[in-house]
Structure 1
Amino acid sequence: MSSPFKPAARLPAVLVVDDEVRSQEALRRTLDEEFEVFTASSAEDAQKIMERETLQVLLCDQRMPGESGVSFLKRVRSQWPDVVRIIISGYTDSEDIIAGINDAGIYQYLLKPWQPDSLLMAIRNAAELYRLQAENQRLSLELRTSSPVLRKRVEMKYERVKREFGLDGLTRAPDSPLGPICDLIAQVAPFDLSVLISGESGTGKEMLARAIHYQSRRADKAFVVENCGALPDELLEAELFGYKRGAFTGAYEDRIGLFQHADGGTLFLDEIGETSPAFQVKLLRVLQEGEFRPLGSPRPMTVDVRVIAATNRDLETEVREGRFREDLYYRLAIVPIHVPPLRERPMDIPLLVERLLAVSQGALGKSCEGFTPEALACLAAYRWPGNVRELQNAILRMLALSTGPKLGAHLLSPKVLQSGTDGHDDTDLAAVGFAGTLQERVDALEARVLKETLIRLRWNKTRAANELGLSRVGLRAKLVRYGLDGDKSGGAE
């Protein structure tokens, strides 16, 4: 019999270089569901791996025996310039890293102790950057060498990108709270107004920012992203404003900052609420005057950049309590947009799981026929404190662990499984006590106990039958009677 799955496509490859085995393993556990992870304990070992493997991202610790991370990444840049380079270290190494960040071509600097979600997002962005760089190189070559007919096809690809990242790419139901937000975006996007997007982590604030960019007159220019909460002030200033040769020890050549990279386009500043008051003053000047001064430069530079900021904090409260500058807040929040959490838009979940499953199948190179009814019920009932990001991770997990044609409830984590009985079921115990004949109430209660037990035991029918004192035949008959036998790909019999 032929396999129901496609041959697995190779995942993006990441090389982790760290001399501490425990740190290596922690990084591998965080990344290995979405990436092919290689590990090395030294620059010498990493060099050997890079000579035989095709890598997209290199994640390197700064402090290693023999050779520092920055020194190794400088060599990597000359031999493998397309590999996206990320360095990870503590605040104490920031001066050395700033000095070498240009020569090494470092894409991002991550601080210890790192958070799994932040690290995973950084590696995802780096892998996407690698893919986009390769795609841009290919499209540029096609545009230079192709016939007019082929050139038209390349331009059509660009239009498809605009549709994917514009308002049409935002998944929402007709009655979703995102509907009015999308209407507002359509109104304000054509105008160069600063937008402040607030909402919990994982709600899709960056996607909304991209939609604004691709609905604006700047859509054919750069969309540049910086996480302000990931860097100390001195590194953030160097990243955004750049520096001149000789600005500090190790600054051997000029470095262009992200404001210059975004000139004519859009700069998205995520986690703006994490910045210090001192840095807020410098950012305010850029927004007010449209100019900034690179480190070590005697003259300011002028740029034309639209700034979109995002935060998961209540900035109005931060202003009242003196932790965020009031003048900067009003400069950023000309158009404030609040993204509701996923628990406040349950009508979007069925559409989201369908789209995220398609994305996950592409990422893992593995296909399936969809979800069982029980799995969909649990996904819809859970409150998703991590919002869309948590939902995406749950679907990736289900697909990776699946062995059948459909994704069953048994593939979900215990906390999501338990959500199926958290008061969203038609057989809620409160309802059982107030309606129907005695037999109807007893039947409803029995159905509820059966479903709670199956969910808790991950749909293992043998264990459920033993716990409830039923034979397997008796349990199966009750499941058929109450319509609970739909999870054909579920747990063990």
Structure 2
Amino acid sequence: MTSGAVLIIDDELRSQESLKRVLAEEFDVLLASNAQEAEAILAGDLVQAILCDQRMPGVSGVDFLRHVRETWPDPVRMIISGFSESEDIIAGVNEAGIYQYITKPWRPEKLLETVRDAVRLYHLQKEPGGVGAESKPSHGTLNRVLAERRREQKKMFEFDRIVHDPNGPMVDTLALARKATGYDISVLVTGASGAGKELLARAIHFGSARGDKPFVIENCGALPDELLESELFGCKKGAYTGAYQDRIGLFELADGGTIFLDEIGETSPAFQVKLLRVLQEREIRPLGAARSRKIDVRVISATNRDLENEVEQGRFRRDLFYRLNAFPIHLPALSERRGDIPRIAESILAEVNRSFRRKIPGFAPETMRRLCAYVWPGNVRELHNEIQRMVVMAEAEEPLGAHLLSARVGAERGAAKNFNGPSTLKDQVEALERVAIAKTLLDCAGNISHAAEKLGLSRVGLRAKIDRYDLRRDVGGGYEQ
């Protein structure tokens, strides 16, 4: 028995099907590829929630949902965006009255819970004496719903929930991060891609006095300067080609809370100047606007680059570096904390079991041995993907066997030697060298010249070591020369 109807509006059929698979067991799912099809459905069907992609043919998701609000005010409106994240948006901050932003890539269990909340809110609106006049959500009720979600998030992202070996290197890292929660100070988290920098930033935010306020995320390496400025600072209609409406920036949405600027090392010098001014003056001026607006936002930034070296090379502003680096925290790579792997793997498996509705009881001993021996150049993110794949491949509800491991993880050639075993000194040195090269290649986004410079090798020498350790398969295959 379904608990409501959800309309999905997305012009990509694969996205439609992915969303439908997650929601279909619990809701009646209606599909539309464009605004016209969606309007026809809304005119003839009772819909409790609308899940709309931001990019659609002919009209943006925000523009369409503004029209929906005026014509069909009852459904709870949500939007999927591939560019930025703000899970704690206060309802009513924009004209479309969007209840929730959901970012790509979304997690099935999180998406399902968000849609459940939206449908519950719809029914709350319909109860006698419920949400407010004309069956429209009152901002007070929505704010209470979002406040409850923040309390749940605060529990979810507590430091104690970060899985780690109680005797491993993460103990010191977490102790340092806990100190940052007590002071309103800028934090710079460094570490390899996929190591969990965002998770640590969330723990710092929700453990601080700002924990009941918004936590907003932007990947600074994903957008060109003009779009990044619009995302962070906002813009007025007509400020640039494609600016068809006023846009509230993420700094303003994060007012009172925290903004997490991921991949800060990827920004251009021109953008760095503008960000520095925002941090110095504590105010923003949207693109095309005549006046600035004061903001109260804590900044946590993250990078997989060596920013001090970037400063020395003239690629990152020294004054901005000092602004961001008031409280530095380094997050060790997974290869540096192998004792964490069994606990993290079990935690990931429990999450994947819930998402995929499986009951896999754990890992066979040989499987866990190989998971612990592998280098993991992609860190926790790669481990998560590997376990997801194994669960999909498993045909029975029994411990995951080593035969389910992918070739790069399961093969002994892809594993670092166990230093407590009978390996020779040469084996140990080569294993450490392999880890160092794999990590540097990831940090340099596969750029051989940059990686060779950091490692003190020639490009020819580095390419020879890549071939020797078979890193093309492990790190991704394609490299820039």
Assess if the C-alpha contact under 8 Å between 1:71 and 1:104 holds in 2: no
Change (3 A) 1:103 1:245: farther
> Among 23, 34, 41, which residue is 1:43 paired with?
34
CA deviation map 1:352-405 (0-9, x unaligned):
011111111111111121111111111111111111011111111111221222
Assess if the C-alpha contact under 8 Å between 1:213 and 1:223 holds in 2: yes
User: Identity across aligned pairs (percent)?
Assistant: 43
Please name the residue that 2:403 is paired with: 410
Assess if the C-alpha contact under 8 Å between 1:87 and 1:106 holds in 2: no
Please name the residue that 1:162 is paired with: 154
Change (3 A) 1:322 1:422: closer
Please name the residue that 1:455 is paired with: none
The 5 Å alignment of 1:55-94 reads 67-68=57-58, 70=59, 74-75=63-64, 78-79=67-68, 82-86=77-81
Question: Helix, strand or coil for the counterpart of 1:124?
Answer: coil
Please name the residue that 1:328 is paired with: 320
Change (3 A) 1:272 1:126: farther
Structure 2 distance, partners of 1:379, 1:72, is 42
CA deviation map 1:15-71 (0-9, x unaligned):
7635xxxxx77x899x79x96899999638974998799998655766xxxx43x35
Please name the residue that 2:333 is paired with: 341
TM-score using structure 1 length? 0.65
Change (3 A) 1:130 1:249: farther
Structure 1 distance, partners of 2:105, 2:283, is 31
TM-score using structure 2 length? 0.66
Assess if the C-alpha contact under 8 Å between 1:57 and 1:83 holds in 2: yes
Change (3 A) 1:313 1:155: closer
Please name the residue that 1:450 is paired with: none
CA deviation map 1:134-164 (0-9, x unaligned):
648858969x979xxxxx9998886553232
Change (3 A) 1:15 1:314: farther
CA deviation map 1:274-326 (0-9, x unaligned):
11111111100111111111112211111110000011111111111111111
Q: How many residues of Structure 1 are paired with residues of Structure 2 in the alignment?
A: 379
Structure 1 distance, partners of 2:121, 2:48, is 21
Please name the residue that 2:104 is paired with: 122
Structure 2 distance, partners of 1:48, 1:136, is 20
Assess if the C-alpha contact under 8 Å between 1:84 and 1:126 holds in 2: no
Assess if the C-alpha contact under 8 Å between 1:15 and 1:55 holds in 2: no
Give me the CA root mean square deviation: 4.4
Larger RCO (CA under 8 A, 6+ residues apart): 1
Please name the residue that 2:378 is paired with: 386
Please name the residue that 1:370 is paired with: 362
Which consecutive unaligned segments of at least 5 residues does structure 1 have?
1-11, 19-23, 89-100, 109-119, 147-151, 432-493
Structure 2 distance, partners of 1:387, 1:169, is 18
Change (3 A) 1:41 1:217: closer
Structure 2 distance, partners of 1:364, 1:188, is 36
Amino acid at match of 2:34: A
Following superposition, the deviation at residue 177 of structure 1 comes to 1.0
Change (3 A) 1:59 1:35: farther
Change (3 A) 1:155 1:294: closer
Assess if the C-alpha contact under 8 Å between 1:86 and 1:106 holds in 2: no
Assess if the C-alpha contact under 8 Å between 2:82 and 2:104 holds in 1: no
Assess if the C-alpha contact under 8 Å between 1:342 and 1:384 holds in 2: yes
Structure 2 distance, partners of 1:317, 1:36, is 47
Please name the residue that 1:197 is paired with: 189
Please name the residue that 1:17 is paired with: 11
Following superposition, the deviation at residue 223 of structure 1 comes to 0.4
Please name the residue that 1:488 is paired with: none
